[in-house]
Amino acid sequence: MRRILSGSIRPRGFRLKKRTVPGKKYGGYAVLFFVGLLLFQSFSGGEETGKQKEEGSGRSRYTVVRESMAGREEVPLEEYLIGALAGSVPDDFEPQACRAQAVILRTNVIYAAQQEGTEAVTAVRLKQESLTFQEMREKWGGAFEEQYGRLKEAVKETEGQILLYEGTVVELPFFPLSSGKTRQAGEVWQDQETPYLESVSCQEDIFAPQYEQEVKMGEGELEEMLGELFGAESSVSWEETAFLTDSAGYVTALVWKEKEIPGEVFRERAGLASSCFTMEKDGDSIWLITKGIGHGLGMSQYTANAMAKEGKAYREILTYFFPACEIMKN
């Protein structure tokens, strides 16, 4: 993004023109008038530029690089965020919830950029779907103007705002629906310092239509899959496998003999909505019953939307999910 230059608004190469008013007296007044006018513009211009810096100009030095068959494209951060919102929230997401999501997405871009030591972070690095202008037109059809305007406003109203933990930009996860509360990051990533990801209650989530889902697998199919995941020479009995869980009920790891695989790896391989699951035997089949959707870390979008419907502002939503963080203007 280009920066707005500060300084005087005096036109380059400005010259005073000779007045046709008769008399040196009036000509002298004219010169003094124009000199005074230029000085006034110079001071007021600098003041205006300072105000733009304080309030934000709608521009950022960060960009997101998209690469495709058509070539390489550098997308301004705020423009990218509109597409990222379109790719990460439901079409009926409340305005304040959209704003909370916009702050999270912006924070993640700047976090990634700082980690890479660049101001142009790649879309691949972000691992976040962001729709192009044309893709948004195709998605919304006749509702394009309304939907695009709604997301554009969310980006504009949170312009430049990011979350910091102890003065440092951090990565902020989010997901669609929790098991009833979010996860404590320390129980998931014991080798990483993420104290800002605390567990908070999300009781609204248990009333969501897709809160509980079921996947049916043949017992032999499940045990063959476990054997592959553990790198065993044959199938592994699910009844001889230990399923370790955290305080939110999510499976953190599967353990067989001295081997261990992450719960999220199993969830992805089995095609489960969440790693918060239980298993029930039904003849030659196994039912895997899940609660919630997604990894369970950070902000639950369902609860965020419910809070927005209750009249909570985006700052309150972010503070609820990330209480140890503060909202700052980048």
Q: For 35-74, how does the pLDDT look when each residue is reduced to its tens digit (9 = 90+)?
A: 444 444 443 343 333 333 333 334 679 999 988 777 888 9
* Least confident piece of the model among 44-48, 174-178, 247-251: 44-48
pLDDT surpassing 70 at residue 260: yes
Higher pLDDT, 55 or 330: 330
C-alpha to C-alpha distance for 157 and 153, rounded to whole angstroms: 6
Q: For 261-299, how does the pLDDT look when each residue is reduced to its tens digit (9 = 90+)?
A: 999 999 999 999 999 999 999 999 999 999 999 999 999
- Do 184 and 199 contact (CB within 8 A), yes or no? yes
Number of neighbours of residue 65 by Cβ within 10 angstroms: 17
Q: For 194-221, how does the pLDDT look when each residue is reduced to its tens digit (9 = 90+)?
A: 899 999 999 999 999 999 999 999 999 9
pLDDT surpassing 60 at residue 15: no
pLDDT surpassing 70 at residue 112: yes
Tell me the torsion sign for CA atoms 149, 100, 295, 67. Answer: positive
pLDDT of residue 113: 95
pLDDT surpassing 50 at residue 8: no
Instruction: Pick the closest to residue 67 from 117, 121, 144, 113 (CA basis).
Output: 121
Rounded mean pLDDT of the chain? 85
pLDDT of residue 59: 62
Q: For 152-164, how does the pLDDT look when each residue is reduced to its tens digit (9 = 90+)?
A: 999 999 999 999 9
pTM: 0.80
pLDDT of residue 69: 78
C-alpha to C-alpha distance for 136 and 309, rounded to whole angstroms: 25
pLDDT surpassing 90 at residue 182: yes
Q: For 92-107, how does the pLDDT look when each residue is reduced to its tens digit (9 = 90+)?
A: 999 999 999 999 999 9
pLDDT surpassing 90 at residue 302: yes
Number of neighbours of residue 276 by Cβ within 10 angstroms: 26
C-alpha to C-alpha distance for 229 and 256, rounded to whole angstroms: 11
* Least confident piece of the model among 71-75, 246-250, 304-308: 71-75
Q: Tell me the sheet residues that pair with 293.
A: 177
Tell me the torsion sign for CA atoms 196, 94, 126, 262. Answer: positive
Share of the chain above pLDDT 90, in %: 75
pLDDT of residue 191: 62
Residue 297 burial class via C-beta count within 10 angstroms: exposed 0-12, middle 13-18, buried 19 and up: buried
The alpha carbon torsion through 20, 23, 29, 32 (nearest 10 deg) reads 70
Q: For 113-142, how does the pLDDT look when each residue is reduced to its tens digit (9 = 90+)?
A: 999 999 999 999 999 999 999 999 999 999
* Strand locations in the chain (E): 63-68, 71-76, 120-122, 161-165, 168-169, 174-175, 212-218, 242-245, 251-256, 259-262, 277-282, 285-291, 299-300, 326-329
Q: For 320-329, how does the pLDDT look when each residue is reduced to its tens digit (9 = 90+)?
A: 999 999 999 9
- Look up tokens 């980048």; give the residue: 330
In sequence order, the 6+-apart residues with CB closer than 8 A to the CB of 278 are: 288, 289
Residue 81 burial class via C-beta count within 10 angstroms: exposed 0-12, middle 13-18, buried 19 and up: buried
